[in-house]
Structure 1
Amino acid sequence: MRRPQRGTLRDVRRGNRSLLLRTLYFGHELSRHDLSRLTGLSPATVSNVVGDLIADGIVVEAGAVDSDGGRPRTLLRVQESYGYVVGVDVGETRVRLELFDLSMTEKAKAEYALEPRRHEPSVVVDHILTGLRSVLADAGVDESQVLGIGIGVPGIVEQRPELLIHARAFGWNGVPLGDRLRAGTAIPIFADNGAQTMGQAELWFGAGVGARHVVMTLIGTGVGASIITDGATYRGVSSSAGEWGHTTIAVNGRACRCGGVGCLEAYVGAEAILASHGAGHLPGGDEESALAAMLTDPAARPVLDEAVAFLGAGLGNLINLFNPERIIVGGWAGLLLGRALLPEIRAAAARHALAQPMAQVSIELGRLGPEAVALGAATLVVEDFLLRSGTPRHA
């Protein structure tokens, strides 16, 4: 039998550094005393690690605050200009890029339209690389200052070294997106499902702050979800967990674009709602304007009532399965529906959920807007940076 491996002193130091850096990042401005109290590390350890972080330029002093009967305590914060991160939202009708500093303040953005029925990998890769050059030039940032590029995509992301993307709606089956992008940039690449990245953004900065058990739903042209249990995203064996839109809601029901029948997406996705109303496929992919118009059209009420009923059933299933404390409705279509019909959606969910878990959950709208996919994608890079205790991957 092999003996368990004991952590080396270097491992302990790296762990302490990561813990302190993460605590300071989310605490914004803290003193050394605060860091010792929040992490349980000794004042001497905190002082040594903070000294290293300041020497590396990752942490800076941010003024002082009075203490009880003693000398003022120096406040510390993460230096927002230490590095930059890029978030990319690969959607059905657009590719959107945003450049952020480490405080997640947007520095530049770029957006490129996609033909709704054309999503060849080469087209998406070209848009990402063109957008990368654009946002760096607009912000005056050198590529060497970028810690990573995070990408939110529809479909399943296999977290192998080559990042294989399976996006049925795009016709992608095992597309090595990371390898294709690395042909045009040396910046580290990260990727995840768009619902997962939106969920992380809302958990860090939006409607999920303070919650430990959350389901983030993304309703746009398609439908997905991010399941967060005890503060961590549940991914399943091959990172395909969260395909809520392709759970069966009606046996022998409508055909879904995934090839199945009776999927939730075939009833509550924007494309499905518009098709039920007779709008069909819209030139230019302007589904958002069409859905907004439906919400003010009395003649569309039966179609919307049906969508709310199916959405309520889908939410009830999530409540019964996962017993979350919070469900967040997001995505551009989810926000449009929620702003107009949230009481009806809550009532529909209550009709399909068990009384006890329903009484324990709140159903809320996302606070970060449809752009949360790109913001959440950028947090993939920040998460890696914090876990690596502030050491860039390409250092």
Structure 2
Amino acid sequence: MARRTARDLRSENRFEVLHALFERGPSTRQELARHTGLSPATVATLVTEFLSGAVLHVAAVERNTGGRPQERLTINPDRGRIVGVDVAETYVDATVYDLALEGLGHGEVALDEHENDPDYVVDGIVRAIESAVQDGATEREHVIGVGVSMPGHVHPEAGVSVFAPNWDWHDVHVEKLLEESLSIPVYVDNPLKAVVLSEMWFGAGRTEDSMAVVNLGTGVGAGIAIDGALVRGTTNNAGEWGHTLLRFDGRQCRCGRRGCVEAYLGAPGLRTTLAEIDPEHPALRQRRQRDFVEAVADALATGDPAPTELAHRTARYLAAALGDLVNLLNLPHITLTGWTSDALAEWLVPAVQDELVHHVMPGSLAGLIVGPSQVPGNAVSLGMAAFTLQDFLTRLGLASPAGTRPRPDPEHGIDQSRRGQGV
């Protein structure tokens, strides 16, 4: 991968202005300068560029007594449509957004978790996108980009799924396959990066510069931000917390190792734990992972003893694994997201908070917050839409060297004006 810059979307000037508009709503140039800390001259220049590209428009003109009229600016939602797509082993979830990242339409397609052919998965992605576009009453020609999150190790600048252990994928050119089917620019990235970006823009990141966003589903992982910068690592593979060691010589993990966090906290791991507690429990009859987790949640609501013990053990596993993460990075905030978190947060979060005191060093425990994500809708899809918005601005010529990803230059290799953000 190309070398990453230390700056992220929030610390880059153009995105400081956009981020301020997402937070504040319609604002004057003076208000944007005060909110971002940028000079009035810098804000005026950037606003002029955005207006020329129709990314912003004037929402209102305010005439003050004795002063010059002030324009109140806002993001132009109708500049185009963006599709954010969350692809997991069991489903594809697609959402159509306007340029202000307001959801307009939704589509979902179930995937057979035992089917791993790339053509099968790509077909599911295309069908979910088409369903979302139809649900949002969106004209196909108004879609300016599609952001697709793929599980596993992804190289965004090449559009390649490098390694997806649950599918046994190696170097699948997902972006090329999708662009051939859609004839729309496609941006591919990893869900851990997407959830952190959505949290930074629309969740806890509004008040916290450093955090981990822990995703619980079929697999598990942690997206990380430090001092406002999205952590990608050398090859975009940072955040594979699910493949750190929880128990020496423990359960077999699908990555090939034993005792990984994912083997205990992923949905298949929860199934294994429940089978250890009560091999005949009715929830184990559910074949689909999401149906199994929902059955566990329903049983927890009735006080069923076996799922209650499952929640207790899972909270202990989760607290121990989060303790390692906090002790290593001294993070003040951990957000839980993903469909397993959504279903079980009512039982997991309080138990994890009680258990953390046994796993976190005292110097890192004070003020530590662990809680469910408050980002609206699908955090992965929203984060992918935000990445795709930056990619669109790059194509307009409005992004700086802190752009989302590099593109190959036919003469000189990587276009250095489009280096990826993050560290």
TM-score calculated relative to the size of structure 1: 0.87
Indicate yes or no: 2:297 matched with 1:292: yes
Q: Residues 319-377 of structure 1: CA distance to partner in whole angstroms, max 9, x if unpaired?
A: 10111121101112123332223221012222111001111321111113672221222
Q: Give structure 1 regions of 4+ aligned residues with deviation exceeding 6 angstroms.
A: none
Once the 2 structures are TM-superposed, how far is the Cα of residue 189 of structure 1 from its aligned partner?
A: 1.4
Structure 1 unaligned runs (5+)? 1-14
Q: Contact 1:163 / 1:176 at 8 angstroms: preserved in 2? A: yes
| d(CA) in 2 for partners of 1:199, 1:64 | 36
| d(CA) in 1 for partners of 2:359, 2:63 | 54
| d(CA) in 2 for partners of 1:289, 1:244 | 24
| d(CA) in 1 for partners of 2:339, 2:357 | 23
Indicate yes or no: 2:160 matched with 1:167: no
Q: Contact 1:265 / 1:272 at 8 angstroms: preserved in 2? A: yes
- Alignment partner, residue 181 of structure 1: 178
The correspondence for 2:384, drawn from 356, 366, 377, is: 377
| d(CA) in 2 for partners of 1:18, 1:262 | 41
- Alignment partner, residue 411 of structure 2: none
Once the 2 structures are TM-superposed, how far is the Cα of residue 168 of structure 1 from its aligned partner?
A: 0.3
Q: After the TM superposition, which residues 271-282 of structure 1 pair with which residues of structure 2 at under 5 Å, given as runs? A: 271-278=268-275, 279-280=283-284, 282=286
| d(CA) in 2 for partners of 1:248, 1:361 | 23
The correspondence for 1:206, drawn from 203, 207, 229, is: 203
- Alignment partner, residue 10 of structure 1: none
- Alignment partner, residue 89 of structure 1: 86
| d(CA) in 2 for partners of 1:168, 1:281 | 25
| d(CA) in 2 for partners of 1:162, 1:180 | 10
Once the 2 structures are TM-superposed, how far is the Cα of residue 39 of structure 1 from its aligned partner?
A: 4.9
180-189 or 157-166, larger mean C-alpha shift: 157-166
- Alignment partner, residue 134 of structure 1: 131
Once the 2 structures are TM-superposed, how far is the Cα of residue 294 of structure 1 from its aligned partner?
A: 4.1
Q: What is the one-letter code of the residue matched to 1:308? A: A
Q: Residues 155-211 of structure 1: CA distance to partner in whole angstroms, max 9, x if unpaired?
A: 111233242341101221221111111211232211222222122212211233221
Q: Contact 2:29 / 2:40 at 8 angstroms: preserved in 1? A: no
Q: Residues 25-69 of structure 1: CA distance to partner in whole angstroms, max 9, x if unpaired?
A: 5543111222344353344x6545534533432221112457697
Indicate yes or no: 2:349 matched with 1:345: no
> Percent sequence identity over matched residues?
32
Indicate yes or no: 2:107 matched with 1:119: no
| d(CA) in 1 for partners of 2:256, 2:14 | 48
CA RMSD across the alignment: 2.7
- Alignment partner, residue 196 of structure 1: 193
Q: Contact 1:86 / 1:149 at 8 angstroms: preserved in 2? A: yes
Q: After the TM superposition, which residues 1-395 of structure 1 pair with which residues of structure 2 at under 5 Å, given as runs? A: 20-21=17-18, 23-37=20-34, 38-43=36-41, 46-47=43-44, 49-65=46-62, 70-71=67-68, 73-278=70-275, 279-280=283-284, 282-285=286-289, 286-296=291-301, 297-368=304-375, 371-386=378-393, 391=398
| d(CA) in 2 for partners of 1:364, 1:308 | 13
| d(CA) in 1 for partners of 2:152, 2:64 | 51
Q: What is the one-letter code of the residue matched to 2:318? A: L
Q: What is the one-letter code of the residue matched to 1:221? A: T
122-131 or 56-65, larger mean C-alpha shift: 56-65
Q: What is the one-letter code of the residue matched to 2:38? A: G
| d(CA) in 2 for partners of 1:68, 1:157 | 56
| d(CA) in 1 for partners of 2:15, 2:359 | 43
Structure 2 unaligned runs (5+)? 1-11, 276-282, 408-423
Q: Contact 2:294 / 2:343 at 8 angstroms: preserved in 1? A: no
| d(CA) in 1 for partners of 2:44, 2:151 | 44
